[in-house]
Structure 1
Amino acid sequence: MITFDTNQLDTMAWNNTVIQMLIRLGEYKGKQALYFQQSPEILTALKNVAIIQSTESSNRIEKIIVTSKRLELLVHEKVAPQDRSESEIAGYRDILEVIHSSAEHMRVNNGLIKQMHRDLMKYATGAGGRWKQADNNITETLPNGNVLIRFVPVPAFQVDTMMQSLNTGFQAKRDNGGIGDLILIAVYVLDFLCVHPFSDGNGRMARLITLLLLYQAGYEVGRYVSIEKIIEETKEQYYNTLYHSSMHWHEGKNNLLPWIEYFLSIMIKAYQRFEERVGSLDRGRGWKARQVEAVIKHMMADFTVADILERCPGIAGPTIRQVLNKLSREKQIESISMGRNARWRKSEI
């Protein structure tokens, strides 16, 4: 049952974990503008990396994989897709670009969602843009080869009505203003996945709609840090929380909390990465070296120059190597392998 058609949200008592995460995310959102006024070259580099990572991760979750070289060429529209996987990548790229450029003008309704799905599938099958024609199940293939049904979504004949209810219910709650945007977005995504309105592409559509709704609510971090990549890194938790929060959904008696806590946690991770990569608001002399040192300080495992480059967009390799040599002389880090792909480790002092 669509959550917005029940009184679950109105009667829920939020635990301290959720309250603290919402406060923290409010603080991150409040600081966004300060960071956006900083070095444009860093933000541009972050955006370029995030687009590639988002396209790759959201598709890889669904086992759609291409080589890194082909991925970059496809994302930058330098080649045409050559097979089904590349066609799926190209479709995702196109919708992501539209969301990045036009989110504020995209009112979420049945028509828009079907249009997005049509564009997602246009290179692959050309059969997108319509609700599923047959019932589908969410399944898991076990190591022994047996298939486990994890959830039975809404039957095909009910999809249009349920999606209409989801979109109008979400909009009404948002207009009312009594419940925070992040909670509403998390619940919308959960309900969308429980409806499972398409025969293919539901997971990718859910992640694209997540970004769209976040941008409309003023949470811009997904432009600069790939939320899809964080979901991929926490894929097991992603599926487990979806499973637990979808139990008894049809009766309107499901537990929203596991999914909401997970959703808020990935948002916090995204903002943490954003602040780590943008670095201090201090842009005085020597800030690049200080930023590299701060990134190295937070490394939890062995690392390479490439690892630091990813976290320090706009800072050149020679600057990073100078910092590595300095910290090595000070015995704060040590080299554990040499050569082109040299690896480093923080010293145990």
Structure 2
Amino acid sequence: MRSFEDLDQLVGAVPFGVVADLRTVDAGRGSQALHRLTLPELLEALTDHARTASLEASSAMDGVVVRDRTRAAQILAGHTADLRDRDEQELAGYGAALDRLDEERGPRPDVDVVLDLHRLLFRFTPTPGGRLRQVESVVAGPAPDGARVKRFTPVPVAATPAHLDELVARYRRALGAGRHHPVLLVGLFALDLLAIHPFAAGNGRVARMLTNALLQDAGYDVTRYVPVEPAMAGSPERYSAALLDSTHDWHLSRHDPWPWLRYLVRALADATTQLGALTSSARRAGSKQGRVRDHVLRHARPRFRISEVRAGLPDVSDQTIRLVLAQLRTEGLIEADGVGRSATWSRRA
């Protein structure tokens, strides 16, 4: 809530480094429609991997780890009948919460959605989820000597519902106004949600789930294909320091959001660059004829047009594309559906 009280003053002047990273993220957003058209199977494979990597890394950041990878894969595939311990229960709940987000249709964020995500997160545990914090608490973390020290104090229990309602309302108004970059607004929403700290446990996972969902709602799908949570889990000190630096004096509305926003935008820019490298590699592997063959058999839609292959391989001539299509048809791997410019091609099972 606090970050949305005076956005022009808080984020009106964007640091140069953040501007440069936002340009990278925006450029990646502009390429996503082309990737979906020309490399659908690659994106599908990346989506499957990203979901698992995001879920496992985000869980590990909260101390939830299932070390048996085969077992973890079974749980994430929906096998939840014989969960053995608390870590497996919470991993299964995280998967259920992500499924809920994928199915959700309607305005986000929404307080009911936030509560439902938390309920699902703890669905398989003895601890009931979906309830706001009932006792006063502090957020603590490790000191260099290993001791636990106070990091910050969340808003009082009695004020939590009002803060949560106002955060959702102000975020929606700010996004609708269109005065500030949507990625920055998503980052501020996550920052304020963590500062409010509405739940006794699971706040980080709920905030990270919603961050990805709100980015995708705003048209930034990069985390659907390249997750940022593994990088966050790999440098937990930097992640925690960015958040703590930005929550200092949050209660007084005198906090500095840029340590956190700089960290988040840089993570998204790195993910965007990585996605660009993956898609470029898929297009450029091998000779031109080999690239066309690979594109048609592995990355194109099951039914595609020559124009889609051309868009995915802009440096390959139509003559080469048609030559490879003819070869693949002779091999019985594809077939033509019609003739002329409107014809489509289909991969054969």
Identify the TM-score tier after normalising by the shorter chain. 0.7 to 0.9
Aligned to 2:238: 237
Aligned to 2:100: 98
In our comparison, the structure showing a higher alpha carbon Rg is: 2
- Within a 5 Å distance, the mapping from 1:103-182 to structure 2 comes to 104-142=105-143, 144-182=145-183
TM-score in terms of structure 1 length: 0.78
Change (3 A) 1:196 1:269: same
Deviations along 1:245-275, whole A, 9 cap, x unmatched? Answer: 1111110001111111111011011112222
CA distance in 1, matches of 2:193, 2:292: 43
CA distance in 1, matches of 2:22, 2:111: 29
Change (3 A) 1:47 1:11: closer
Q: Give the secondary-structure state (helix, strand or coil) at the position aligned to 2:289.
A: coil
Following TM superposition, by how much is the alpha carbon of 1:234 offset from its aligned partner in structure 2, in angstroms? Answer: 2.9
Contact 1:100-1:223 at 8 Å conserved across structures: no
Instruction: Give unmatched runs, 5+ long, in structure 1.
Output: 292-349
Aligned to 2:15: 15
Following TM superposition, by how much is the alpha carbon of 1:161 offset from its aligned partner in structure 2, in angstroms? Answer: 0.5
- 1:287 maps to a residue whose letter is R
Q: Say which of 86, 89, 92 aligns to 2:88.
A: 86
Contact 1:118-1:128 at 8 Å conserved across structures: yes
CA distance in 2, matches of 1:228, 1:166: 24
Aligned to 2:37: 37
- 2:35 maps to a residue whose letter is Y
Deviations along 1:107-134, whole A, 9 cap, x unmatched? Answer: 3121111111111111113511111001
Q: Give the secondary-structure state (helix, strand or coil) at the position aligned to 1:140.
A: strand
Change (3 A) 1:82 1:109: same
Aligned to 1:260: 261
CA distance in 2, matches of 1:182, 1:32: 16
Instruction: Give unmatched runs, 5+ long, in structure 2.
Output: 296-349
Which 10-residue stretch deviates more, 7-16 or 196-205? 7-16
CA distance in 2, matches of 1:93, 1:165: 28
Instruction: Determine whether 1:62 maps to 2:65.
Output: no
Following TM superposition, by how much is the alpha carbon of 1:5 offset from its aligned partner in structure 2, in angstroms? Answer: 2.1
Q: Give the secondary-structure state (helix, strand or coil) at the position aligned to 1:149.
A: strand
Change (3 A) 1:278 1:151: same
Following TM superposition, by how much is the alpha carbon of 1:22 offset from its aligned partner in structure 2, in angstroms? Answer: 1.5
Change (3 A) 1:93 1:162: same
CA distance in 2, matches of 1:94, 1:106: 20
Q: Give the secondary-structure state (helix, strand or coil) at the position aligned to 2:250.
A: coil
Task: Name the count of aligned residue pairs.
Answer: 290
Following TM superposition, by how much is the alpha carbon of 1:280 offset from its aligned partner in structure 2, in angstroms? Answer: 4.4
Q: Give the secondary-structure state (helix, strand or coil) at the position aligned to 1:37.
A: helix
TM-score in terms of structure 2 length: 0.78
Q: Give the secondary-structure state (helix, strand or coil) at the position aligned to 2:274.
A: helix
- 1:3 maps to a residue whose letter is S
Paired-residue identity, %: 29
